[in-house]
Amino acid sequence: MCTALTLKSKDGFHFFGRNMDLEYSFNQSVILVPRKYQWENVISKKILPIKYAILGMGVIINDHPLLADGLNEKGLACAGLNFPHYCYHSPEPYPDKINIGPYDFILWILSNFETVEEVKAAVSQVNLVNIPFAPDVALSTLHWIVYDKQDQCIVIEQTKEKFCVFENKIGVLTNPPTFDWHIDNLKQYIHLSSKWVEGTTWYKQELNPDSCGLGLVGIPGDFYPPARFVRVAYLKSHATHLDNEMTTLAEFYHILNNVAMPGGAVIKPKSKEEFTLYTSCMALEKGVYYYSTYNNLQLNAIAFEKEDLDQEQLKSFEYLDSLSINNQN
């Protein structure tokens, strides 16, 4: 499971990222997809160009980048989150559609478009097809969140009933159920408050709070997708340390850390434990991909401006997963 977040600083910087919650490592690393790289659409067999360079976390198989999340050089960002039981893929290609495997949907979006508005105009042409990337690579069940520097955000879901593009004014996404269900579910929590609760008297007994935080009694604290959605939506809507780029970057991690899974907290069938493998945060204006890992809480940064975006070959960066400590004496 996973949680995605968007956040904007008061001086106009936009951030996007996610917790990747899994029970295993998938040999992930940050990948640079340069402008002159060409990729093969597994469904159509067509060789396609890259219009905009991409930085994203993923894995390279047969010189093909399979991205879990990323941003392009124009400041458009996208992430795929697990959407089991609801996700649907068409059984075959449609002749009048752009047929894409779900594993290439992020690559298609980020390599072609600058803004969410452009994605919305084009995505109705897409058919996500139930054909795996390779026989030994399982087909992911995903829905997607897309965000840009204009603070526009959408969620894309394909279920058996319909293909949906939702406006996402909350700027948060987790997992099942569908996005519109999560928005309706928030109505149960509109009473929550971060402010000090005043005391009262019942008959002759004075009742006074012992400490702050009483206004948050009832906020769900588990790791189920609806609970994570509510907590992150609440924390984002009440975030205060957003004065500038760096304070907002720190606030981004504080919010997602609130729903990060420590080892042993969530045990799946066959005793597999789910944990937060990494947390990404992308600075859309600066073109920087930040990430921390389960074992390395230090932020690692990879920037477009330090790379040759016109090369032809994919480039991957070492995944830094060993604890790094800043020794001050």
Tokens of 219: 């906020």
Read off the DSSP letter of residue 271. Answer: G
Percent of the chain past pLDDT 70, that is, above it, reads: 100
Q: What is the mean pLDDT of residues 53-72?
A: 97
Q: What is the 3-state secondary structure (H, E, C) of 142-195?
A: EEEEEECCCCCEEEEEECCCCEEEEECCCCEECCCCCHHHHHHHHHHHCCCCCC
For residue 196, the model assigns a pLDDT of 85
Give the CA angle between residues 232, 87, 16 to the nearest 5°.
35
Q: Is the peptide bond before 177 cis (omega within 30 degrees of 0)?
A: yes
- Residue 212 falls in the annotated catalytic set: no
Each residue's pLDDT tens digit, 100-109:
999 999 999 9
Average pLDDT of the residues of the chain? 95
In tens, the pLDDT along 128-167 reads 999 999 988 889 999 999 999 999 999 999 999 999 999 9
Between CA 116 and CA 31 the distance in angstroms is: 22
pLDDT of 178 above 90: yes
Buried b (16+ CB within 10 A) or exposed e, 155-164: bbbbeeeeee
Return the CATH number at 263: 3.60.60.10
| 197 within a domain of the structure (yes/no) | no
Mean pLDDT of 220-226: 96
pLDDT at 269 > cutoff 90: no
Confidence at residue 210, expressed as pLDDT on a 0 to 100 scale: 85
Closest CA to 89 of 97, 78, 100, 80: 100
12-24: pLDDT as tens digits? 999 999 999 999 9
Asked, for residue 47, whether it belongs to a domain, the answer is: yes
For the residues of 268-323, what is the DSSP string, one character each?
Answer: EGGGEEEEEEEEEEEETTTTEEEEEESS--S-EEEEGGGS-TT-SS-EEE----S-
Task: Answer whether residue 169 is part of any domain.
Answer: yes
Q: In Å, how far are 159, 194, 317 from 199, measured between CA atoms?
A: 48, 15, 55
Would residue 35 count as lying in a domain?
A: yes
- Say yes or no to pLDDT of 26 above 90: yes
Neighbours of 182 (CB within 10 A): 24
Task: Judge whether 122 lies within some domain.
Answer: yes
Greater model confidence, 6 or 206: 6
Per-residue model confidence (pLDDT) at position 211 = 87
State how far the Cα of 146 lies from the Cα of 179, in Å rounded to an integer.
Answer: 13
Is 132 part of any domain?
Answer: yes
Could you tell me the pLDDT band of residue 209, with boundaries at 50, 70 and 90?
Answer: confident
Considering the domain boundaries, does residue 310 fall inside one? Answer: yes
> Are residues 55 and 304 in contact, defined by beta-carbon separation less than 8 angstroms?
yes
pLDDT average, residue stretch 216-237: 96
Parallel, antiparallel, or unpaired: how do β-strands 126-128 and 98-100 relate?
parallel
pLDDT one-digit tens code per residue, 276-298:
999 999 999 999 999 999 999 99
Judge whether 129 and 139 are in contact, CB under 8 Å. no
Q: What pLDDT, on the 0 to 100 scale, is given for residue 199?
A: 87
Q: Has residue 200 been placed in a domain?
A: no
Residue 214 pLDDT > 90 = no
pLDDT at 222: 95
* Catalytic annotation, pick one of 2, 78, 87, 153: 2
Structural domain that includes position 248: 2-189+242-317
Give the C-alpha separation, 100 to 201, whole Å: 63
* Ramachandran assignment for 275, one of left (phi > 0), alpha (psi -120 to 50 degrees), beta (any other): beta
Instruction: Say if CB 122 and CB 112 are below 8 A apart.
Output: yes
Domain count, the chain: 1
Burial 198-207 (b: 16+ CB within 10 A, else e): eeeeeeeeee
